[in-house]
Amino acid sequence: MHNTTRDVSRSTTAQSHSLLDDIVGITASSLLAAIGIFLMDSGHVVTGGIAGLALLISYATPFSFSVVWIVASLPFLPLAVWKKGWNFTLRSLVAIVMVSLFAQLTTAKLGHLSIDPLFGAVAGNVVASIGVLGLFRHRSSLGGFNVVALIAQEQYHWRAGYVQLVIDLAIVAGAFFVASPVIVLYSAVGAFVFNFILALNHREGRYNG
């Protein structure tokens, strides 16, 4: 008996997402990002990016996360238009608004929970990173420093996750003003988890959808 080997040709032609793909993908990814932020908030930890900045400000002021999130995201939109174009910018704006709405909805439906800070930091960042990956793959983002990281990857070939990590650690360091050193440590662990997942999964040539 002889074993026969067959060469199977595989098509490598990427297919663009349909409008329905994008609607479902951006909506689901925004919900995941909001749930991740909710878990972090419930553990009273922070993360990096505009989300982390918004959480920090919401802890230190009477302003809600959703309000600070949208206001802090707006200054980065002109950069997104300039470097990434209107299509990407409008998709990101939709995602920003949806995350804000989903964050309010999640809090309204689940209430204010108090969970272990380390669990909130790790689980929250895992869930949020999957949401952000989904947005990236549908030509969108959460705006803010996501835009900076994506531009750095496209123009200088620096992995977006590593660029975001440097920015995020600087933001997490700001938590020293509103939280204990242990919470800051947990927040740094969470930020590392978030960006490690991002760097591992979002790289040039990895996804062509």
pLDDT of 5: 42
| pLDDT range class, residue 1, cuts 50, 70, 90 | very low
* DSSP conformation class of 179: S
Looking at the domain assignment, is residue 1 inside a domain?
no
Looking at the domain assignment, is residue 206 inside a domain?
no
Looking at the domain assignment, is residue 104 inside a domain?
yes
- Range(s) of the domain holding residue 35: 19-201
Looking at the domain assignment, is residue 3 inside a domain?
no
Exposure b/e, 117-147, CB count within 10 A at least 16 = b: bbebbbbbbbbbbbbbbbbbbbbbbbbbbbb
On the 0-12 / 13-18 / 19+ scale of CB atoms within 10 A, 3 is exposed
Looking at the domain assignment, is residue 81 inside a domain?
yes
For residues 64 and 102, which has the higher predicted lDDT (pLDDT)? 102
Question: 50, 47, 22: which is closest to 36 by C-alpha?
Answer: 47
Looking at the domain assignment, is residue 14 inside a domain?
no
pLDDT of 207: 55
pTM for this one? 0.81
Looking at the domain assignment, is residue 209 inside a domain?
no
| pLDDT range class, residue 8, cuts 50, 70, 90 | very low
**Amino acid identity at 202:** H
Total number of domains constituting the chain: 1
How far is Cα 30 from Cα 132, in angstroms, rounded to an integer?
8
Q: Which two tokens stand for residue 61?
A: 């002021």
Q: What is the pLDDT of residues 28-48, one digit of tens each?
A: 999 999 999 999 999 999 887
Looking at the domain assignment, is residue 5 inside a domain?
no
**Amino acid identity at 56:** L
pLDDT of 69: 86
